[in-house]
Structure 1
Amino acid sequence: MVSANKEMVVHCFDTLLAHYNSTEAPPPAFDQAQHPLFVTWKKVVNGGDPRLRGCIGTLEARSLINGLKDYALTSALRDRRFPPIQVNELPLLECTVSLLTDYETANHYLDWEIEKHGIIIEFSDPVYNTRCSATYLPEVAANEGWTKTEAVDSLIRKAGYNGPITDELRMQIQLTRYQSTLFTMHYSEYVSYVKERRGEAPILAAKSPNY
């Protein structure tokens, strides 16, 4: 099984830096494979807790090299919940690559473990009869301090449902659980790693676009 590693996160930083510099990113230093994946960007200010700046990925298997390149940019620049990450935010960023594994159909909406499992929920909106779905990665519920029911209720809202959340609605949820491997790196660690491996620190062009 392929696990998330440092070189994958370096590739994400390389990709974002190359976007701002209007250049090509260096070739990645990891082997090609197929995996569902997510790229998460967070911003650390004044030593506080990291704050989410973008998180987008795919639940279907993708080529790791192209998939990480695509989602590094999509999550940084086109997550509709946030404005695009600006050049001057780079030194404050940390990046996490998550590779998803071990998909299992749960018996009911509470049939999963906090921290161990990510969850995908699917259900029908009882008013509009439309199909709704959403996912949280394994670390989300623990980071937010949620119970399993609170995590599922939050995910129902994330899926776009604004009506009353009842036990009847929860019981009709089809829940898929999964696990993941992940690797996180701060921009300062990325700079040190690149300097050690390539002989010089990454360069950000003086005049770069803001998005």
Structure 2
Amino acid sequence: MEKELNAKEKEILLAMARKAIETYVRTGETYVEPREEKILNRRNGCFVTIKQKGKLRGCIGNFQSELPLFKEVVEIAISSATRDPRFYPIKEEDLDDFSLEISVLSPLKKIEDLTEIEVGKHGIYLEKGYYRGVLLPQVATEHGWDRDTFLMQTCIKAGLPPEAAEAEDTEIYIFSAQVFGEDQPAS
């Protein structure tokens, strides 16, 4: 991202994501309120992470978007709540107990040297044949991983052996993210 979101813009996106999830779960309708802020109308990839009782409950995202950021956040929030295949769709009784985190992404950058990966700064997107895996930058710091563990875990997430990052036909991309959530102080 060339310009960071300010505290007010983060609050707007978090509120829009929450309202979109609540509206969709209750009515099946998608709620999107138009926004005038220039930064919220940029086309950025993003991920929306949902947690319940401190545990992952849904996480879906896109690296690129044809939609303005505010619309992308709404669409991805609904998908995270209802279409993450690892979890059952959020139901009305779940709406009282979840928190949101949004990661607004920089463009992907292909790397050749694994030492370019900075734990805590970069996320990893990895491709090998039909296999793909992604882990957001905050995942490594949340788990206390070093670079090698972060790479191995990204391979495992992709359904590959842990050492697949070393293979010549594995393509590795890094990205950064502006990460903010309801459980974090706005800054």
What interval of TM-score do these two structures reach, taking the shorter chain for normalisation?
A: 0.7 to 0.9
Task: Tell me how far 1:181 sits from its aligned partner.
Answer: 0.8
Q: After alignment, is 11-20 or 57-66 more displaced?
A: 57-66
Q: After alignment, is 114-123 or 20-29 more displaced?
A: 20-29
Task: Tell me how far 1:18 sits from its aligned partner.
Answer: 0.9
Q: Does 1:100 align with 2:109?
A: no
Rg comparison, structure with higher value: 1
Task: Tell me how far 1:28 sits from its aligned partner.
Answer: 4.9
Task: Tell me how far 1:65 sits from its aligned partner.
Answer: 2.9
Q: Which runs of 5+ in 1 are unaligned?
A: 45-49, 124-129, 190-211
CA distance in 1, matches of 2:133, 2:84: 15
**Other-structure match for 1:15:** 20
Task: Tell me how far 1:177 sits from its aligned partner.
Answer: 1.0
Residue pairs, 1:1-211, within 5 angstroms: 1=3, 3=5, 5-22=10-27, 25=31, 27-29=33-35, 30=37, 31-44=40-53, 50-63=54-67, 64-123=69-128, 130-161=129-160, 164-166=161-163, 170-172=166-168, 173-185=170-182
Q: Deviations over 1:145-182 (max 9, x none)?
A: 22211111111121122xx544x752433221111112
Q: Deviations over 1:99-118 (max 9, x none)?
A: 10153222323421111111
1:17 alignment partner, SS class: helix
Runs ≥4 residues deviating over 4 A: none
CA distance in 1, matches of 2:132, 2:115: 16
Paired residue type of 2:11: K
Q: Deviations over 1:26-76 (max 9, x none)?
A: 6155542210111110112xxxxx110000010113422321121111111
**Other-structure match for 1:200:** none
Paired residue type of 1:170: E
Paired residue type of 1:78: R
Task: Tell me how far 1:7 sits from its aligned partner.
Answer: 0.5
CA distance in 1, matches of 2:57, 2:162: 28
CA distance in 2, matches of 1:174, 1:108: 11
Greater fraction of residues in strand: 1
Task: Tell me how far 1:21 sits from its aligned partner.
Answer: 2.9
Q: After alignment, is 24-33 or 67-76 more displaced?
A: 24-33
Q: After alignment, is 8-17 or 106-115 more displaced?
A: 106-115
Q: Which runs of 5+ in 2 are unaligned?
A: none
Kindly indicate whether the alpha-carbon contact (under 8 Å) linking 2:156 and 2:162 is maintained by their aligned counterparts in 1. Answer: no
